[in-house]
Structure 1
Amino acid sequence: MFKHWGRYAISTMLVSTMVLSGCSSNSGTGKEGTSAAKSESVVNESGFPLTNEPIKLSMFTRIAPLNGPFKDMPVFQDYEKMSNVQVKFTEAPTDGFQEKKNLLFASNELPDAFYRSAITPLEATQFGSVGQLIPLEELIDKYAPNLKKLMDEYPEIRSAITTPEGHIYAIPGIVTLAAARTDKKWINQAWLKKLNLKEPETTDDLYQVLVAFRDQDPNGNGKKDEIPMTARTVLSVVNMMSGSFGLDQQLGYNINLENDKVKIWMGSEQNKELLMYLNKLYKEKLLDPELFSQKEAQYLAKQGSGNAGFFFDQTNNSFLTIADQYEGIAPPAGPNGDRLQAQASPVPRDFGAFAITSVNKYPEITMRWIDYFYSDEGSTLLRFGREGEHYEIKDGIPVYKEDFLKTDNQPKITPYAGGGAPHLISEKVASYINPPQVQEAQKKLDPYMPKVRYASPMFDEKTAQEVNILRNDIDKYYEEQSTKFIAGALSFDKWGEFQDTLKKMNLDKLEQLYQEAYDKMKK
């Protein structure tokens, strides 16, 4: 999950303007989203196939660096035979994905559905209100029994995806397993042992450990080539270390909730302390200098190299061959004693994982198609492939076969690799991402998890546009300035100017809008 700033950036002003002005190369559909083209195939309301006459659907999706082509994945090959639905995927790489998605909406060159496309709450409201995404609530009630059951069992799912007008324009990946909703803090315990160091309990301890990783040649090759600390991006390291400085991430944003009051903390003294700490690490070559430019594949490769001292990820998939070298640690206590696991996603973890567009001729069949993956059976097929060939059942739980794991083909056969796929992640289907090592790492985090994790609120159309406009400018400015503060390109003597600029950009107004949304959620 989504990781709020960079990976799931909200739509640009250009896209907002083009969509709201009604630019279109397809026929308009109106707010109810009823497709102008009538379905030529009848949905079967239960069982397989989903329709007696074969149909084709087009879907736009994100492809992660380790994935193979979706058309070669067993789940989609086998499910096509089961369902009578052939899906043609248009795959866009993780890097540059948001821009490609924006362009589809702006040009109105829409697929039948968006799959693993991280439609944000703001995008769902925006593109739903102008009819590019269709409302799904009635389709869910009639054609999605698996999803409906989960929504009834976990009411926070429905509240997180329903607009104030009562519409659902996108459905999430649903994670009932706590360990799949956090990024663990992985440290090189083999290096700790070699250097006779203890697991860091505070941010000061962490600093001393990173210095030792830099200077004392823990990999034993006589070179200073160790990477003491790394992360996916600049803002992901801010995200992952924020809890040590008392900074939470509630409502899908940089928000602390204090006595039911929303506080956006970008300009706070706590955030200044956090950025100063990261700047210290960067200046002293303790924080990966490639943080500002590396791609996802590079980051994952560093995990598997065994040459990284401290990093963050949900599971151990990327360093399985050297898994014994690492262990999870608790959030280090910060200078004021704060020790929060701020990065913790809600049960509807991956908002906007799937959405149906107005050009889709078969919305009923499409809803039945996606609903299968919210069952244990469908999720098992999606995550594990074919029983006997890719996995076997042990103690009632699907587990990858040892000979298959040795092939390094696991990430290529499933769209779950890389995150964000629309499906159910339960304890039953999570053996690969939740092995004992990951379970132990989660136990280190559990005492510091927030009692309640609120998902991003669904705003009404007018408010969503206002939030969209405010966040486009504020988020871009915050990312730019945070990067400069960490890299030392901007002196902390300029912090007052930074705060003043945030105020001029109406940060207080944005805070008020989130407060109003939170108050409605609490009623």
Structure 2
Amino acid sequence: MRKQWGIATISTMLIAALVLGGCGSGSGTKNNAASNGEGVAEVSKDGFPIVQEPVKLKMFTRIAPVNGPFKDMPVFQDYEKMSNVQVEFIEAPTDGFQEKKNLLFASNELPDVMYRSGISPLEAVRYGSGGQLIPLENMIEEYAPNFNKLMEQYPEIRASITTPEGHIYTLPGIVTLGSARTDKIWINQAWLKKLNLKEPQTLDDLYEVLVAFRDQDPNGNGKQDELPLTARKGLPIVVLMSGAFGLDQQFGYNINIVGDKVEIWMGNERNKELLMFLNKLYTEKLLDPELFSHTEAQFLAKQGTGNTGVFFDQTNNNFLPIAGQYTGLAPFEGPHGDRLQSQGAPVPRDQGAFAITSVNKYPEVSMRWIDYFYSDEGSTLLRFGREGEHYELVDGIPTYKPEYSTAETQPKITPYAGGGAPHLISDYVASYINPPQVQEAQKKMDPFMPKIRYAAPMFDEATAQKVNTLRNDIDKYYEEQSTKFIAGALSFDKWGEFQATLKKMNIEELQQIYQEAYDKMEK
């Protein structure tokens, strides 16, 4: 229930605001009175509206090619009525977005809020320490109960967004739904049945199944035209298969954490074994020969042909017409007994999705405004629009009506389509990406998921610059050489030279930086 403010109380608050107006607070926020030139209103800490008198905010945002104007989306139309907060979106297309964002900060022509703006950790530290973004940590405790609760439940969220100085300048998207954080292993169960094969459990099993798919004409057309195994272009296949060799993906990088020790594994012998296995598949035409050349569209099309044996993707949207032909697999056990679901995003995703700038007169209002979308109720509005018009409850779960379940209609009603929107993705709001078939596939993976998957740590600006410099060289070299190893263009006799070059590129220094970041997190 909102408190009723008397004249004396309002006068006292105005005097306090005048006295404190020139003093910065620990959170970088101002007082909790919001004004629109027509009076003063309390910023409600719960319930709606957020303010009694309308408040206007300007938000800079990325608009994806598939989206319609944000002002026409039901979520923002309805939320304005609920909150009494009027948002003017300054939309910038995905192409050229980074340049426009850079120009805003360089010219100091800032909006009130950066929304769906993909502010990198380096940008957050740079613009935060420079005073263009304000710290949010105190406001989160007071005005963002939904987000605060998520940080308590998943400590890795706080670790991923807190700078070495203890400040939080941006909020991420939050994904508590496990199946929205992993690519599933989909296998053609119709082919397994026809060839009287069991679901592969180990890498050896997988190899035998792929050979059968290649040689035994499971599609029955008398031609050897089946595609045994494919994946997205380039090295995602390394990430997807690394868990079978005990290689994890912590901090969004090729990192294992064992006994509180951080190891970048790109040059170790387990990675050599992984690349040798992939080279074997590639050489024997069991792995897609177009792996390093096909486009994303071509990869997705291969899912829908029914002529692919095994592939990896988060959900079944791209092969729905033939979904019954496929089933999910558990991760494969490797030669040393390892069986880890190494691929997967951390709970905090879409880093830098929301930030409040120093020109914002209503930071508390802005924090209350965004916090709603970290609840199931707010996330439902953002993703699905209006109940009855855009979605219905099916077994208690929001589900798009047929006319809004297409790739053409969804992006016109939700900023979720196109990625990067700050909100909560839970099992309650994920019917589109988490149908029963996907849920069953995830259940097979769950026993092999790491307890915690750390997001990339926040570094101070000097350290972040150092990490970027080191990784630019190391990552480029690793990608080039790994591609050559898999494709057979580089002999594994050169592995020693490969290791030596990584060492010269100071991979051990990079490892130490991550070690120090991990040590700070665990204090």
CA–CA distance in structure 1, aligned partners of residues 183 and 127 of structure 2: 30
The residue that corresponds to 1:26 in the other structure is none
Equivalent residues of 1:467, 1:510 under 8 A apart: yes
Partner of 1:268: 268
- Following TM superposition, by how much is the alpha carbon of 1:298 offset from its aligned partner in structure 2, in angstroms? 3.6
Equivalent residue for 1:154?
154
Q: How many angstroms does 1:354 deviate by? A: 2.3
How far apart are residue 201 of structure 1 and its match?
A: 1.4
User: RMSD of aligned C-alpha atoms?
Assistant: 3.3
Structure 2 gap segments, 5+ residues each:
1-23
Residue type matched to 1:152 in 2? Answer: E
- Measure how far apart 1:419 and its partner are: 4.4
8 Å CA contact retained: 1:129, 1:461: no
State the match for 2:245 in structure 1.
245
CA distance in 1, matches of 2:209, 2:66: 31
TM-score normalized with structure 1 length: 0.83
Deviations 1:139-193 (A, max 9, x none): 3234323212322333332222111211112112122222222221111212222
The 1:261/1:415 distance shift into structure 2, 3 A limit, reads: same
- Provide the rounded CA distance (Å) in 2 between the counterparts of 1:229 and 1:500: 32
User: Aligned partners of 1:70 and 1:289: how far apart in 2?
Assistant: 42
Q: Structure 1 residues 359-368 or 347-356, which shifts more?
A: 359-368
Q: After TM superposition, list the pairs within 5 Å mapping 1:122-161 onto structure 2.
A: 122-161=122-161
Task: Tell me, yes or no, if the aligned pair for 1:200 and 1:332 is still in contact at 8 Å.
Answer: yes
> Using the alignment, how far apart are the partners of 2:466 and 2:377 within structure 1?
42
Q: Secondary structure in 1 aligned to 2:348?
A: coil
C-alpha deviation, 1:67, in angstroms: 5.3
Q: In terms of Rg, which structure is larger?
A: 2
Report the CA distance shift for 1:473/1:135 in structure 2 as closer, same or farther (over 3 A).
farther
Deviation at residue 267 of structure 1 after TM alignment:
0.7
Q: How does 1:314-325 map to 2 (within 5 A)?
A: 314-325=314-325
Change (3 A) 1:183 1:112: farther
Question: Percent identical across equivalent pairs?
Answer: 74
**C-alpha contact 1:32 1:131 (8 A) present in aligned 2:** no
CA distance in 1, matches of 2:43, 2:402: 39
Q: Which residue is 2:342 aligned to?
A: 342
CA drift at 1:453: 2.4
Q: 8 Å contact 2:60–2:117 — kept in the other structure? A: no
TM-score (norm 2): 0.83
Q: Shift in Å at residue 441 of structure 1?
A: 0.8
Alignment partner, residue 45 of structure 1:
43
> C-alpha displacement at 1:471, in angstroms?
1.8
Aligned-partner Cα distance in 2 for 1:467–1:206: 37
Change (3 A) 1:503 1:421: same
How many Å separate the matches in 2 of 1:71 and 1:521? 40
Q: 1:128 to 1:306 in 2, by over 3 A?
A: farther
Report the CA distance between 1:339 and its aligned residue: 1.1
Q: Structure 1 unaligned segments of length 5 or more: list them.
A: 1-28
Count of aligned pairs between the two proteins: 490
Residues 398-477 of structure 1 correspond to what in structure 2 (within 5 A)?
Answer: 398-402=398-402, 404-405=404-405, 409-410=409-410, 412-417=412-417, 419-477=419-477
Matches within 5 A, 1:149-188: 149-188=149-188
Deviation at 1:515, TM superposition (A): 1.2
Which moved further from structure 2: 121-130 or 95-104? 95-104
**Alpha-carbon contact 2:57-2:112 (below 8 Å) kept:** no
2:89 maps to 88
Residues in 1 aligned to 2:159 and 2:521: alpha-carbon distance in whole angstroms:
8
Cα distance, 1:449–1:134 mapped onto 2, change above 3 Å: same
Q: Aligned equivalents of 2:295 and 2:56: distance in 1?
A: 37
Residue 513 of structure 1: CA displacement? 1.2
Q: Deviations over 1:437-494 (max 9, x none)?
A: 1221111112212233233222233322322222222222222222232233333222
Matches within 5 A, 1:344-363: 344-358=344-358, 360=360, 362-363=362-363
For residues 381 and 309 of structure 1, the distance between their equivalents in structure 2, rounded to whole angstroms, comes to 38
Letter in 1 for 2:331: P
1:204 counterpart letter in structure 2: D
CA contact (8 A) 1:43 1:50 kept: no
**TM superposition shift of 1:517:** 1.6
In 2: Cα distance, 1:441 partner to 1:256 partner: 25
- Separation in structure 2 between the aligned mates of residue 70 and residue 224 of structure 1, nearest angstrom: 49
Q: Distance in 1 between matches of 2:403 and 2:112?
A: 38
Report the counterpart of residue 56 of structure 2 in structure 1: 55
Task: For 2:383 and 2:340, locate their aligned partners in 1 and report how far apart those are by CA, in whole Å.
Answer: 31
Local SS of the residue matching 1:302:
helix
